Amino acid sequence: MKRNFDCRDFERVFERWPLEGDEEATRALAAHVESCAPCRTRLQEYREISRLAAALKQSIEAPGLWPRIEAGLVRERAQPRRFPRRVPLLAGAIAAAALLLLLPTVLPTLLRPRAGVSRSTILADAEIETLVREERRIAARIGEIEPLFETRIAQEDHAAAIVSGGLAYLDGNIETCRRLCERNPANRSIRRALLQSAEKKLEILEAFVSR
């Protein structure tokens, strides 16, 4: 059954004017204003406002605007982009190939669970000590092998030159992790990344010098 509206109810209807397809509210309002002079006046004034506003929608001429926009667009297109739209094909192919080569060797190391290490993100003092000891051991071993590797480079061993690119990448990682470890010595993920990079470097060096 339809509710009887009074003026207070219509306050809410007026707030939603022009009602945008709410036919029930439109009908109810029309019925109400038949018998309510203040609401009738208000509705008439609203309609008058809408009529006057619609009359402001007049045709407007702006003949010079499109040529200005067009000139602006042409100018913008002529300017070099801050970032190239496409990565050069060759560089993309090289990056993809390098990634494919690295993934099978790096992934197992990254995903390998470590015995005796808890899952908390913060390392306990004892764990830090163990990891630092391990880092030192690997660093010492790298220190022993690296001169041999550099000798090969000096002898212009072609394979050594290729591997040195990958080692430089790992060195960058190790350096960054060390800096972060100085600030966050108990951060598990940084320590883990440092150890993994160092282990990887050692693995590559050992494999190379034992050829």
| Residue 7 lies near other proteins (rule: CB under 8 A) | no
Among positions 46, 101, 172, 184, the unique one binding other proteins when judged by CB under 8 A: 46
Nearest 5°: phi and psi at 124?
A: -80, 160
| Residue 77 lies near other proteins (rule: CB under 8 A) | yes
| Residue 78 lies near other proteins (rule: CB under 8 A) | no
Among positions 72, 99, 103, 124, the unique one binding other proteins when judged by CB under 8 A: 72
Q: Which of the stretches 53-61, 162-170, 171-179, 198-206 binds other proteins when contact is defined by CB under 8 A?
A: 53-61
Nearest to 198 by CA among 161, 157, 170: 170
| Residue 57 lies near other proteins (rule: CB under 8 A) | yes
Nearest 5°: phi and psi at 187?
A: -80, 115
Q: Which of the stretches 67-75, 118-126, 132-140, 187-195 binds other proteins when contact is defined by CB under 8 A?
A: 67-75
Q: Which of the stretches 9-17, 92-100, 147-155, 161-169 binds other proteins when contact is defined by CB under 8 A?
A: 9-17
Using the minimum distance from each CB to other proteins, give the nearer residue, 42 or 192: 42
Q: What does the block give as tokens for 119? A: 């899952």
To other proteins, the closest distance from the beta carbon of 35 in angstroms equals 19
- Identify whether the C-beta of residue 203 lies closer than 8 Å to the C-beta of residue 138: no
Burial class (CB in 10 A: 0-12, 13-18, 19+), 35: exposed
Using the minimum distance from each CB to other proteins, give the nearer residue, 37 or 168: 37
Binding site for other proteins (CB under 8 A): 14-17, 20, 41-42, 44-46, 48-50, 52-60, 62, 64-66, 68-70, 72-74, 76-77
